[in-house]
Structure 1
Amino acid sequence: MASPTTLDAGTTPVAPSGGKTFFGHPRGLATLFMTETWERFSFYGMRALLVLYMTASTAHGGLGMKVALATAIYSVYNAMVYLLALPGGWIADRFLGARKTVAVGGAIIMIGHFLLAVPFEGSFFVGLVFIAVGSGLLKANISTMVGHLYDGPNDPRRDGGFTIFYMGINLGAFAAPLVIGTVGQSVDWHLGFALAGIGMALGLGQYLLGSRHLSAQSSVVASPISDAEKGALLRKAGLWLGLAVVFYGIVVLSGHFTINWAVWPLSIAGIAIPVVVFARIKRDKDLSPTDHSKIRGYIWFFVVAAVFWMIYDQSGSTLSVFADQNTKLSILGASFPSSWFQSLNPLYIMALAPVFAWLWVWLARRAKNPSTTMKFAIGLLLIGASFLVMMLAMAAASGGHKVTPLWLALVYLVQTVGELALSPVGLSVTTKLAPAKYASQMMGIWFLAVTAGDCVAAIIQLGLGNATGSTWYFASQGVAAIIAGIALVMYRKNVIKLMGDVH
């Protein structure tokens, strides 16, 4: 999901003024732009190699995992990145402030990539944990810091600033598979992971050097934690950590531990946590009947988004395996690594995002702009259609045939159009339907849809085993998404009624 990760909470800080600008914007935007570009470069470069490395045979330097397990690990890892954005934002608000939290997150990510570069399986999994934790700290705060650069939400430069920042995300995501993917697949897996670490080191270095250009608001701890709260938190954290250590210690000492003992609990937790969060909000007696109605409407969008991300985020797992094993890796006689397919999505986004921004305005002027509900349905129908295309591609590849790369180019195009119909609208409707009491938290809750969707994908992959990536695998998920999209269209009037004055 090469898109902005969070939104500013609506504060009105005083932005730095005077001196040089960055395309007419505060100089600090250049610092955050380059930080995010390099962070995305490291993240998407590593992600392009992840499943390929895990499924490669040990003779070829890989881990020799089965496809189902490798894709499930990938799905859970991706889910944890978005789940950890919630505590990442909380740590900035209560302990460190956004500026220090981003610096700490960047350092942890860098260490994680270098751990992946060590040719030892244990180091590999520790590295994934580091990258997930660091990404949660960074993702939750860096976009908020962009908002801090401007004089409140009505600053006329604000939207343009986020657009420039958005381009940094996609530039990094586009370049990463072309560079890191090539090195990892053609030279050495671990050298590719090390290159991702170097990219994050460059991003962190220029962030630290350019941090003087950032807003003073980014250093503020919005709601400092009290000593009493800190003590209670440490006791609870220590209790849960102790229980986990004892439990897994018993499993390890008994000789029963496998990676499934980590993947299954995390997958279940990634689905259970959003359920618990919504149940807690629904029980909140401080909310008005209108707020409760809007939350019920929002749950529809959340579930639809979870189904969408369940399929969409397989671009780096099942689709990556298909690219490597079933696709001709040459065009007009020129060969290329299979990881290059991961550059298609950010390329399509950079090309099509301005078109969609213009399209919605053009339709609105003619009173034909689809409702939020219809845009979500369109996104869901398209993501389902993309897996039906994958069903046909897999059928064409039966018997060991290598299919044209145009199949995957079409799949990624359909998915990107679906993303542009759903993802930006999801960010918008989240802010509109959020009760005032949960205004800041709702954006984190929106990203829990990614966590839930990826965890469902992991459970499906573990459950199906060798059937993962089969023709039936793609067909069943594609049909399920299309049925869900049709159901949303059929019940859209009920959803719109729950939304109240939000359209």
Structure 2
Amino acid sequence: MASSLAKAAVGDPAGRTFFGHPRGLATLFMTEMWERFSFYGMRALLVLYLTAQVADGGMAMKAATATALYSVYNATVYLLALPGGWFGDRVWGHRKTVAIGGAVIMCGHFLLAVPFDAAFFAGLVLIAAGSGLLKANISTMVGQLYDGPQDARRDGGFTIFYMGINIGAFLAPLTIGTVGQQVDWHLGFAMAGAGMGLGLLQFLMGTKHLSAESDRVPAPLSAAERSTAVRRIAAGAAGAAVFYAALALAGTFTIDWVLWPLSIAGIVLPGLYFARIRRDKDVTPDEHKKMRGYVWFFIAAAIFWMIFDQSGSTMTVFAADSTSSELFGMEFPESWFQSLNPLYVMAFAPVIAAIWVKLASRNPSTTVKFAMGLIGVGVSFGVMMLAMAAASGGERVTPLWLASVYLIQTLAELCLSPVGLSVSTKLAPTKYAGQVMGLWYLAVTAGDCVAALTQLVVGDEAVGSTTYFGSQGALALLAGLAFLVYRRKVIRLMGDVH
């Protein structure tokens, strides 16, 4: 271990390290921290800005439309991670793809700072596209810093990298949220752009410390494949442009023409992917069996994220409309609530990990942990239902209600999310090992799209009501109990995976 920790970092002839890890980890840590700072800062403001009155500088959207837009946007970020990974693997290489993604994200945030609706929506498109490019490749580059899967520093390196994510997510609402709400919305969005700019600068200055492998295209397209890809992308873009131009010229275009197709696509695409794997004759019978078990985990995860990702939408609306922004005599903007989840993650992740280690042979199975996550997130919306009831009649409730909900959701997340990544790698067919990791992220897309469709269907009056929170909480609770009841069936489908 001592010799491993003292090993010179990739690309650093002086042998300097970052907490005993390759020097390049500092570059990727800071890049990801600033990218998450920009993303979560913008996300903390998004629904608040969309629903704010025009006189207050906002867009005066109905709550149902604003929360659906937020859900679809969040879903699209994860959906675009799949083509983002494809660009890294087959077109630009991971390093160049991350740099391009960072630049696109930065431009997107600065477009949000322009006080015109068209620029704002164009900015959202760029941020989603850039996030897909960056998110799919930067974690791969962390792994490339080490001497293969057996490097003793590898898990610790990913833990440090994960802390960068949560530090950025924690600081963003406290700074960008405050400026956006209390000074100017567009200045807050510009701060997010500046944050991504700092991350991009850090990345470009530190590329010499990264693995040479990150600059290589792992599986470059042949000339014929490149020509086919360009034609398909151009045809798809042209078709979408013509369709939406026709709607605009006819005067019938509304935001619903974007929200509905994207929401439906986010639900249909994972189903098509599962069907493709099922039809593939290269997948062995044992692998098919394991994938039938994996479907259960996918559906459970989609239900979980459907609720969890409403932290920045329906729960933010509740914070703005029904929650007191004062605690122990101190006033604060509603966007600060978005800092609670990363704060709780940093505080409780080591505790939960230590509990699993302490339990040893009595450690709950993957199926039980998934059930715990579902039940936990269901209980959180049960608490939201009570909070909404307490706020009836125009009363503003104590912020401790939301603080409790975020705590319950974080504990549920720590039960489900880490083991979801692990079970995806274990149950994936050999031929689809990398693609099933992308499929795992599509569970977030599917869950967010279901949330968006729900919000569009029930309308402004019902979104955020006691019935709204209670029904979704009950669904997650029942799904968790069903997972417990049928866990032996799922375990049989998992075969030798435990």
* TM-score, normalised relative to structure 2: 0.97
Instruction: Report the counterpart of residue 368 of structure 2 in structure 1.
Output: 374
Instruction: Report the counterpart of residue 493 of structure 1 in structure 2.
Output: 488
AA of the residue aligned to 1:390: M
2:146 is equivalent to residue 150 of structure 1: yes
Measured after TM superposition, the shift of residue 164 of structure 1 is: 0.7
Measured after TM superposition, the shift of residue 237 of structure 1 is: 2.1
Measured after TM superposition, the shift of residue 183 of structure 1 is: 0.2
Instruction: Report the counterpart of residue 390 of structure 1 in structure 2.
Output: 384
Q: Secondary structure at the match of 1:256?
A: coil
Given that 1:116 and 1:128 are in contact with CA atoms closer than 8 Å, whether structure 2 keeps it comes out as: yes
Measured after TM superposition, the shift of residue 15 of structure 1 is: 4.3
2:420 to 402, 414, 426: 426
Instruction: Report the counterpart of residue 182 of structure 1 in structure 2.
Output: 178
Measure the CA separation in 2 of the matches of 1:464 and 1:389: 21
1:58 to 54, 59, 72: 54
In the alignment, structure 2 segments of 5+ residues that lack a partner are 1-8
2:328 is equivalent to residue 332 of structure 1: yes
Instruction: Report the counterpart of residue 321 of structure 1 in structure 2.
Output: 317
2:36 is equivalent to residue 75 of structure 1: no
Given that 2:79 and 2:445 are in contact with CA atoms closer than 8 Å, whether structure 1 keeps it comes out as: yes
* Percentage of pairs with the same residue: 69
Given that 1:15 and 1:151 are in contact with CA atoms closer than 8 Å, whether structure 2 keeps it comes out as: no
AA of the residue aligned to 1:196: A
Instruction: Report the counterpart of residue 7 of structure 1 in structure 2.
Output: none
Measure the CA separation in 1 of the matches of 2:232 and 2:134: 25
Measure the CA separation in 2 of the matches of 1:160 and 1:245: 46
AA of the residue aligned to 1:309: W
Measure the CA separation in 2 of the matches of 1:22 and 1:371: 35
2:184 is equivalent to residue 194 of structure 1: no
2:132 is equivalent to residue 136 of structure 1: yes
Q: Secondary structure at the match of 1:221?
A: coil
Given that 2:10 and 2:209 are in contact with CA atoms closer than 8 Å, whether structure 1 keeps it comes out as: no
AA of the residue aligned to 1:34: M
Measured after TM superposition, the shift of residue 441 of structure 1 is: 1.1
Q: Secondary structure at the match of 2:263?
A: helix
Instruction: Report the counterpart of residue 300 of structure 2 in structure 1.
Output: 304
Given that 2:41 and 2:173 are in contact with CA atoms closer than 8 Å, whether structure 1 keeps it comes out as: yes
1:116-127 mapped onto 2 (5 Å cutoff): 116-127=112-123
- Please list the CA deviations of residues 182-235 of structure 1 after superposition, one character each: whole Å capped at 9, or x if unmatched: 000000000000000000000100110011100001111000001101111222
1:161 to 134, 157, 170: 157
2:475 to 480, 487, 497: 480
Q: Secondary structure at the match of 1:80?
A: helix
2:202 is equivalent to residue 206 of structure 1: yes
In the alignment, structure 1 segments of 5+ residues that lack a partner are 1-13
Measured after TM superposition, the shift of residue 17 of structure 1 is: 5.8
AA of the residue aligned to 2:394: G
Instruction: Report the counterpart of residue 6 of structure 2 in structure 1.
Output: none
- Please list the CA deviations of residues 354-401 of structure 1 after superposition, one character each: whole Å capped at 9, or x if unmatched: 01111111112xx21111001000000000000000000000000000
Given that 2:54 and 2:60 are in contact with CA atoms closer than 8 Å, whether structure 1 keeps it comes out as: yes
Measured after TM superposition, the shift of residue 31 of structure 1 is: 0.3
Measured after TM superposition, the shift of residue 444 of structure 1 is: 0.7
2:447 is equivalent to residue 448 of structure 1: no
Instruction: Report the counterpart of residue 464 of structure 2 in structure 1.
Output: 469
Measure the CA separation in 2 of the matches of 1:447 and 1:418: 18
Measured after TM superposition, the shift of residue 16 of structure 1 is: 4.0
Question: After the TM superposition, which segments of 4 or more aligned residues of structure 1 sit over 3 Å from their partners?
Answer: 14-18
Measure the CA separation in 2 of the matches of 1:128 and 1:43: 11
AA of the residue aligned to 1:383: V
Measure the CA separation in 2 of the matches of 1:494 and 1:90: 35
Instruction: Report the counterpart of residue 3 of structure 2 in structure 1.
Output: none
1:280 to 260, 276, 281: 276
2:397 is equivalent to residue 403 of structure 1: yes
Given that 1:15 and 1:148 are in contact with CA atoms closer than 8 Å, whether structure 2 keeps it comes out as: no
The total of aligned residue pairs comes to 488
- Please list the CA deviations of residues 231-257 of structure 1 after superposition, one character each: whole Å capped at 9, or x if unmatched: 112222222223222222221111110
Given that 2:12 and 2:209 are in contact with CA atoms closer than 8 Å, whether structure 1 keeps it comes out as: no
Measured after TM superposition, the shift of residue 20 of structure 1 is: 1.0
AA of the residue aligned to 1:449: A
